[in-house]
Amino acid sequence: MARVIAVANQKGGSGKTTTTRSLAAALAERGRQVLMIDLDPQASLSEGCGLELHALATTTYHVLIGSARLPDILVPVEDRVMLAPANIHLSAAELQLVNMNRREDKLRNALKPLRDHYDYVLIDCPPSFGLLTVNALSAADSVLIPMTCDYYTLLGVGLLLQTVREIQQEVNPSLQVEGILATRFDSRTLHSREILQRARSELGGQFRIFETVVRESVRFKESPIVGQSILTYARTSDGARAYRSLAEEIENHASSS
Ligand SMILES: Nc1ncnc2c1ncn2[C@@H]1O[C@H](COP(=O)(O)OP(=O)(O)O)[C@@H](O)[C@H]1O
Ligand SMILES: [Mg+2]
């Protein structure tokens, strides 16, 4: 049975897409079967996997509005990694869903027939709190929160954790917080170190802050241009090592809980 992890943070540029792509590759390297779901109309996950976005006939948009089944839209990305792609049409789903019954359950229901086929499902969320994110959090077992180490992002994480509590109360009581991941960390700046320290002291008692810290590296910007994850693009880089270590933390946690 797959563990479904929503990668969410309402702030753009916090490393959601990079984390989804790199963690999927790292889990696949460990022999796991992984499905990535692109739930962001900007579709940078799909684009970064080398897909021609305008040429996609069916996407997560069609799945959410009920005109396609999830298994029928999947494309292979690399060994053991599949992708449910998106493109800009997904932005219409948010409006169309508003008038539908059980609008927050669309993704959860769509995933049901696939849960036995994967070890992990990673959902790349858009940078907002709308119905797309609600669908992701409703379908997920847990939420992984990537966070750049700056003050306003830390404040935003507090807000997101509040939203997670609301989702737990109203739609998905079993939703857990997988953990908070420091990304784009710049060890040269005191600010980065202070914010990480604050995250650990203010949130660490209640939530897991991953030991793994992903540092700023230009490799992360280069790899999507050639349609690869950092794990194959720069196999031995610090960034690739970080996501391998994150995968290990997640798997160790899963086996101990
Ligand atoms: N550790 C990192 N070091 C350097 N650049 C990064 C890192 N993680 C992500 N990026 C870059 O930062 C930008 C935003 O990251 P992205 O994963 O797309 O965030 P989000 O999906 O939250 O908007 C992208 O250009 C991405 O390549
Ligand atoms: Mg993104």
- Give the closest residue (by CA) to ligand 1 atom 18: 17
CA 153 / ligand 2 centre spacing (Å): 15
> Rounded CA gap, 149 and 59, in Å?
33
- Give the closest residue (by CA) to ligand 1 atom 25: 221
What are the average pLDDT values for consecutive 10-residue runs of the chain, which has 257 residues?
Answer: 97 97 98 98 98 96 97 98 98 92 95 96 96 97 97 95 96 97 94 95 96 97 97 98 98 74
Q: What pLDDT does residue 187 have?
A: 87
pTM for the full model? 0.97
Q: What pLDDT does residue 158 have?
A: 95
Type of residue at 229: S
Q: Which ligand 1 atom lies nearest to the CA of residue 20?
A: 17
Q: What pLDDT does residue 253 have?
A: 83
- Kindly give, in sequence order, each residue whose CB lies less than 8 Å from that of residue 228, ignoring residues fewer than 6 positions away: none
**Does residue 186 line the site of ligand 1, with CB under 6 A?**
no
Structure tokens at 13: 């540029």
Neighbouring CB atoms inside 10 A of 156's CB total 18
**Does residue 220 line the site of ligand 1, with CB under 6 A?**
yes
Q: What pLDDT does residue 256 have?
A: 58
- Which ligand sits closest to the CA of 218? 1
Residue with tokens 């509590």: 165
Domains of the chain: 3-256 (3.40.50.300)
